[in-house]
């Protein structure tokens, strides 16, 4: 049963939330019609994961996103937005695509969600304008991340790529484009080594690539191509197991890896 104190607390919480919303979205300081959406990809249990937010008091899920200050560089805005929305601090995010479909945002969906948070008409009109969004991408080690929801979200969670909830606006298309982007770049850089622990087996590396490519790879050919690059250091220590069957652990030779930074290493065709 609700007491008067409970009702007062609820009203006060709503008021604080709306004040916080208005303070964070000072539209006079924001670049109109431009936004940023971040696709943060992790890897665990042989699956790729995407970091998504659940909007407060709704069933809407979205990518972490936000807006750019007039006096702010776009790359700096992406780093700030990700920290504001999820608590994650990234030194680098890769800009991968611009999304400008004229119908990319459902105004009804947006209005219903925002009315729960704030009823300022000027802000509501500003949010309803057409926005072109720039997509940013980062690949992270899940074990080193501790994402937290912001004041506008009930949850900030890792979801498997193949089990993502329906995302708002065109965010499903943004995720799809991000995955296409990393598949294309597999032939240029073994960049996805950032998704694994410092020490790993060739089997674990193959499973990661299979998750990205969504297909099985021949074990012998994969290991041969990987080792041919010369960027992996085989460690003397082996994993526990039978003396003749225990797989070797490897780690990345960062100096040699940097030398390949701009070359097409031709792993896959």
More confidently predicted of 48 and 188: 48
Please check whether residues 228 and 172 belong to one and the same domain.
Answer: no
Domain boundaries, position 211: 198-259
The residues facing 156 across adjacent strands are 53
Higher-confidence position of 144 and 134: 134
pLDDT for res 12? 35
Q: Could you say which of 123, 154, 184 is where a domain stops? A: 184
Residues 79-128: tens digit of each pLDDT: 999 999 999 988 778 999 999 998 888 655 555 656 655 556 777 788 88
Whether 192 maps to a domain, the answer reads no
pLDDT at 73 over 90: yes
Q: How many helices (H) and strands (E) does the chain have?
A: 8, 9
CATH code, 251: 1.10.10.10
For residues 25 and 74, membership in a common domain is answered with yes
Q: How far apart are the C-alpha atoms of 155 and 153, rounded to whole Å?
A: 6
Phi-psi sector, 239: left (phi>0), alpha (psi -120 to 50), beta: beta
Q: Are residue 39 and residue 170 in the same domain, yes or no? A: yes
pLDDT at 229: 85
Rounded CA gap, 12 and 5, in Å?
10
Band the pLDDT of 255: cuts 50, 70, 90: confident
Q: Is residue 268 part of a domain?
A: no
Looking at the predicted structure, is the pLDDT value of residue 15 above 70?
Answer: no
Same domain, 137 and 212: no
Q: How confident is the model at residue 78 (pLDDT cuts 50, 70, 90)?
A: very high
């Amino acid at each position: 049963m609700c007491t008067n104190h409970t009702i007062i607390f609820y009203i006060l919480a709503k008021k604080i939330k709306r004040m916080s919303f208005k303070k964070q979205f000072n539209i006079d300081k924001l670049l109109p019609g431009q936004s940023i959406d971040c696709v943060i990809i992790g890897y665990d249990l042989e699956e790729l994961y995407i970091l998504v937010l659940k909007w407060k008091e709704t069933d809407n899920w979205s990518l972490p996103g936000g807006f750019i200050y007039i006096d702010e560089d776009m790359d700096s805005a992406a780093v700030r937005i990700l920290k504001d929305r999820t608590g994650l601090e990234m030194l680098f995010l890769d800009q991968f695509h611009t999304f400008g479909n004229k119908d990319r945002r459902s105004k009804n969906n947006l209005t219903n969600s925002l009315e729960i948070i704030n009823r300022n008409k000027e802000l509501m009109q500003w949010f309803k304008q057409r926005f072109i969004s720039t997509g940013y991408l980062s690949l992270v080690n899940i074990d080193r991340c501790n994402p937290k929801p912001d004041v506008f979200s009930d949850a900030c969670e890792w979801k498997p790529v193949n089990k993502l909830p329906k995302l708002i606006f065109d965010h499903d298309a943004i995720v799809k484009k991000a995955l296409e982007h990393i598949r294309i770049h597999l032939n240029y850089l073994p960049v996805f080594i950032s998704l694994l622990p410092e020490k790993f087996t060739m089997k674990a590396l193959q499973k990661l690539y299979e998750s990205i490519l969504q297909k099985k790879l021949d074990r012998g050919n994969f290991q041969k191509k990987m080792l041919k690059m010369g960027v992996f250091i085989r460690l003397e220590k082996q994993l526990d197991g039978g003396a003749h069957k225990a797989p070797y652990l490897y780690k990345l030779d960062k100096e040699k890896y940097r030398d390949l930074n701009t070359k097409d290493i031709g792993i896959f065709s």
